[in-house]
Amino acid sequence: MSRKPIIAGNWKMNKTLSEAQAFVDAVKNNLPSSEKVDSVIGAPALFLAPMAYSRQGSELQLAAENSYFENAGAFTGENSPAAIADLGIEYIIIGHSERREYFHETDEDINKKAKAIFANGLTPILCCGETLETFEAGKTAEFVSAQIEAGLEGLTAEQVSKLVIAYEPIWAIGTGKTATNEIADETCGVVRSTVEKLYGKEVSEAVRIQYGGSVKPETIEGLMAKENIDGALVGGASLEAESFLALLEIYK
Ligand SMILES: O=C[C@H](O)COP(=O)(O)O
């Protein structure tokens, strides 16, 4: 089965609105066709409404970097998935290791977010990945499998077949240490096998799995050639328009 690649930037807490708008202006007419690849930028919630307006008519898709799991209520400072969906954007990233580590998000929170995002008609990009300690102890497969099982709890087969999962070894994020293509593919394969165990072959063949962690324009082609890798979630190399476009060059 051929899965459409999805290359997603994750800006994290970077840029001002004027910088974000300059980025959209620079990339919006230079992206490959969405028939070949989904080209996505994950931006701070503050910028999503103006970016959704200025990307109109282009191939640029947008992601929020997080949301809450309730649609409304007394949750000061949180962003509603319903309000994000109303902006007309496509994805919400959930369970990034920075959210898990610095904001103490649990697998249970992340699972509730996945359900809320699907209920609002958007697609979650569900992140998983192990620490250096877990990697060095040879426990990556069991750790990542457990994160996936907990994250998918109660989702339907139809939902999971539309899901995007990002495997990001924490030791490779922002460190310049990309996992080798083989390690990245092997663990993306573990993710796919976990989905197969839970939902069967058809769903596991449909789910798209990204690798993330120090992906650069020079390294993306080798990663994308691997069987189990369907895309990339990219931090640093997505911040400049030129570099983001270079990540997509192989799809032009
Ligand atoms: O979400 C993106 C990842 O955390 C990777 O960031 P990085 O490409 O700067 O290593």
Enumerate residues 6+ apart whose C-beta is below 8 A from 188.
Answer: 167, 209, 211, 226, 228, 229
Ligand 1 contact, 234 CB (< 6 A): yes
Nearest to 200 by CA among 243, 157, 244: 157
Domain presence at residue 105:
yes
Answer yes or no: 96 catalytic: yes
Nearest C-alpha to atom 7 of ligand 1 is from which residue?
235
The neighbouring-strand residues paired with 125 are 93, 164
Domain presence at residue 78:
yes
- ipTM of model over 0.95: yes
Domain presence at residue 86:
yes
Domain presence at residue 181:
yes
Distance CA 208, CA 123 (A): 11
CB atoms near residue 156 (< 10 Å): 13
Nearest C-alpha to atom 6 of ligand 1 is from which residue?
235
Domain presence at residue 230:
yes
List 59, 65, 90, 96, catalytic entry:
96
Domain presence at residue 239:
yes
Ligand 1 contact, 239 CB (< 6 A): no
**Domain of residue 138, residue span:** 6-251
The number of domains in the chain is 1
Domain presence at residue 1:
no
In a structure prediction context, what are the per-residue pLDDT tens digits for the chain, which is 252 residues long? 689 999 999 999 999 999 999 999 999 999 999 999 999 999 999 999 999 999 999 999 999 999 999 999 999 999 999 999 999 999 999 999 999 999 999 999 999 999 999 999 999 999 999 999 999 999 999 999 999 999 999 999 999 999 999 999 999 988 887 789 999 999 999 999 999 999 999 999 999 999 999 999 999 999 999 999 999 999 999 999 999 999 999 999
Domain presence at residue 167:
yes
CATH number for the domain harbouring residue 193 = 3.20.20.70
Ligand 1 contact, 236 CB (< 6 A): yes
